[in-house]
Amino acid sequence: MKKFYISILALSAMITKAQSFEEVSQPALQNYFYSASAVADFDNDGFQDIFFTGAIDSDGDTNVDVTSNDFYKNTNGNFSSIQNFGDNSVHLSAVKFIDFDNDGLLDVVTTGLSYNDIVNYQQYRWKNTGSAFTLIDNAPGKIYGGLDVFDFSHDGKQDYAINGTQYIANVGFSQDLDLYTNNSNGFQKTEAWLPGTQNGSFKIVDLNNDNELDAVVNGFNSDYEGTFNIYINENGTLVQKSQLPPVSDSKMAFADFNGDGFLDFVVTGQDENFDSYLAVFTNDGQGNFTESKFEGEGLSAGNVEVGDLNNDGYYDFVVMGDDDNYDGYTNIYLYNPQLQKFEKSEDSGLYNLGSGGTLALFDYDNDGNLDILANGFDWADADLMPYTKLFRNTTTVSNQKPNAPTILTATENNNKINFSWSGASDDKTLENSLQYELTVGSEAGKSDIAKYIVTTKSWYLDKANLPSKIFWSVKAIDASKKYSDKSQEKEFSVLEVSDSKNEAVSIYPNPVKDVLNVKTASKIKTHKVYNLSGQVVSSKLISDKTIDFSRLEKGIYVLEIQLENGKKLTQKIIKN
């Protein structure tokens, strides 16, 4: 008898991977047309909540008729609508959580179209009060695009950008990718920050691990040709470096799939021949990408999200959309680390939904497994209706939270505070594939200076306007989106600030109780103190180098000083 030997690698290739889900009834979730969603813990109770934008069939005649946005609170795994946004709702939309005032509560930005007017392209900013959202700003918006949140200037304040089509009265339609820079008192708009697209997607992300944010943009350009451009950050300017095969009707999701420490991504959409398209792009660390297409498995006009669905430590992805026959599908692809490729999961238990909707991966019931929220058209339904469905992950493989970073270092160089860390680990996810939540505060336990997720084991903040002492910590995040405990919090002293000509200036004490001292070779000529609403508050100049803060309420202020030698200085001051 002959003996047959099968290698572990070959055996792995023979086994069909599978990951199953079961639908969970959530009666409160409406069935939205042309939707978008964002998932986060808005009230810090440990459960992920949902902000939904879209439109609904309010009279039951199977036709969409009302734009409707809702916020759903998660109470121990059960969702209930606690706020409807009425006339300030959008569809054909995008929505993101953003803590734009650094108060520790996640606010929201939405953009899209309202049925109140066929060209009612709107953008709304909603402030989180802790129990609901209140409208604080309304501006012209975009459709058929996207929205992303990031801190491009490294000042700790979250900025955002919006891409897509916008109608301008007496001008017509335009499409630009606009930047909104957070200045603490609102947002400053930079129009046409990058060439915009329609029916595409974009992401602002660090592609080469230099701690500077780059950009990936695809979709139809102004000539309605498919594009796919890579922009690398060179000294604060995004410069186009390469082009990938053009796509449109597309969505992207980013993660380090192979554990080499660099962000890869998956994209779904249509190619230049308008055929359905699905591909993974592997990053070489220099911003160059290698395409791996899924022949015959493309889906367009849908969505894609990444996360570890089977708790093996590697990022997988779920994709939904339309094939070339306009049939809707929802498919799961699991990463096989032995073959270094993705394999389609069979019999997942997901409902096939097509275009016009949204997709999210999150652990809604806190059992340690990533679940799936899906919304889209059911092309098999006789009435062509959309559905919103929640699917619970049934995997029995456990996943432990990561170990927090243990070696934290902060240094000051070239007017930057550079943070770095190591020592984080996980039972499944490779160290190179871990992501991190960086928190910086003006006092121990606070996050009022910066709090956001980064994909590298280092980051930096601009030194300007930092208080004299900061407190910082880091959490590790694994591929299943599970957070570690907070690392030991570190204290760092920012000793001096410098003006544009590097004349040394010291402002102390900061935090201040009564009197603020300005140590400089020149005298103070004029000064102003602003609160975080941008209002000038009363503060007397006691002498040519001291300012009276004793009558101000506790809080954060911005001090502007002009010295007699003409130099100007701006500094954030904390009043105790």
Mean pLDDT of 82-111: 97
Mean pLDDT of 283-307: 94
pLDDT at 4: 38
Mean pLDDT of 521-536: 77
* Lowest-confidence pick of 3-17, 53-67, 229-243, 394-408: 3-17
Q: What is the DSSP string of 366-402?
A: -SSS-EEEEEEE-TTSTT--EEEEEEEE------PPP
> Same CATH topology for 408-493 and 506-575?
yes
Mean pLDDT of 378-386: 92
The pLDDT of residue 188 is above 50: yes
Distance CA 360, CA 304 (A): 8
Kind of pairing between the strands at 276-283 and 264-270: antiparallel
Pairwise pLDDT comparison (339 vs 569), residue with the higher score? 339
In this prediction, residue 540 has a pLDDT band, given cuts at 50, 70 and 90, of confident
Backbone CA torsion sign across 152, 288, 304, 123: positive
Distance CA 286, CA 260 (A): 13
pLDDT at 117: 75
Query: What phi, psi does 379 have (nearest 5°)?
Result: -70, -15
pLDDT at 1: 34
pLDDT at 12: 39
Checking 235-240 for CB contacts under 8 A at 24+ apart, the result is: 236/153, 236/212, 238/193, 238/194, 238/214
The pLDDT of residue 69 is above 50: yes
The pLDDT of residue 500 is above 70: no
Mean pLDDT of 309-318: 97
In this prediction, residue 535 has a pLDDT band, given cuts at 50, 70 and 90, of confident
Report which of 232, 225, 260, 226 is spatially closest to residue 246, judged by C-alpha positions. Answer: 226
Q: If DSSP states are collapsed to H, E and C, what string results for 240-263? A: EEEEEEEEEEEEEEEECCCCCCCC
Q: What is the CATH number of domain 506-575?
A: 2.60.40.1220
pLDDT at 150: 98
Coil, helix or strand for 9?
helix
pLDDT at 419: 96
pLDDT at 2: 36
Pairwise pLDDT comparison (496 vs 553), residue with the higher score? 553
Coil, helix or strand for 172?
strand
Mean pLDDT of 421-442: 96
Mean pLDDT of 530-542: 76
Determine what percent of the chain is predicted with pLDDT higher than 90: 75
Pairwise pLDDT comparison (296 vs 3), residue with the higher score? 296
Rg (CA), the chain: 25
Q: What is the CATH number of domain 408-493?
A: 2.60.40.10
Residue pLDDT, tens place only, 214-246: 999 999 998 999 999 999 999 999 999 999 999
The pLDDT of residue 548 is above 80: yes
In this prediction, residue 495 has a pLDDT band, given cuts at 50, 70 and 90, of low
pLDDT at 557: 81
pLDDT at 174: 86
Which residues face 268 on adjacent strands?
Answer: 251, 278
Mean pLDDT of 418-434: 95
**Confidence (pTM):** 0.83
- Which tokens sit at 355? 């275009």
Determine what percent of the chain is predicted with pLDDT higher than 70: 94
The pLDDT of residue 576 is above 90: no
What Cα–Cα distance (Å) separates residue 216 from each residue in 45, 147, 227, 233, 262?
A: 34, 13, 11, 11, 15
pLDDT averaged over every residue in the chain: 91
Backbone CA torsion sign across 311, 314, 315, 318: negative
Distance CA 62, CA 417 (A): 56
Task: Give the start-to-end residue ranges of the domains of the chain.
Answer: 31-141, 408-493, 506-575
Backbone CA torsion sign across 176, 203, 21, 294: positive
The pLDDT of residue 426 is above 70: yes
Question: Do 218 and 269 meet the contact criterion of CB atoms below 8 Å apart?
Answer: yes
In this prediction, residue 50 has a pLDDT band, given cuts at 50, 70 and 90, of very high
pLDDT at 503: 54
The pLDDT of residue 430 is above 50: yes
Kind of pairing between the strands at 70-75 and 49-56: antiparallel
In this prediction, residue 167 has a pLDDT band, given cuts at 50, 70 and 90, of confident
* Lowest-confidence pick of 71-80, 297-306, 553-562: 553-562
Pairwise pLDDT comparison (45 vs 529), residue with the higher score? 45
pLDDT at 498: 42
The pLDDT of residue 567 is above 80: no
In this prediction, residue 26 has a pLDDT band, given cuts at 50, 70 and 90, of very high
Residue pLDDT, tens place only, 318-343: 999 999 999 999 999 999 999 999 99
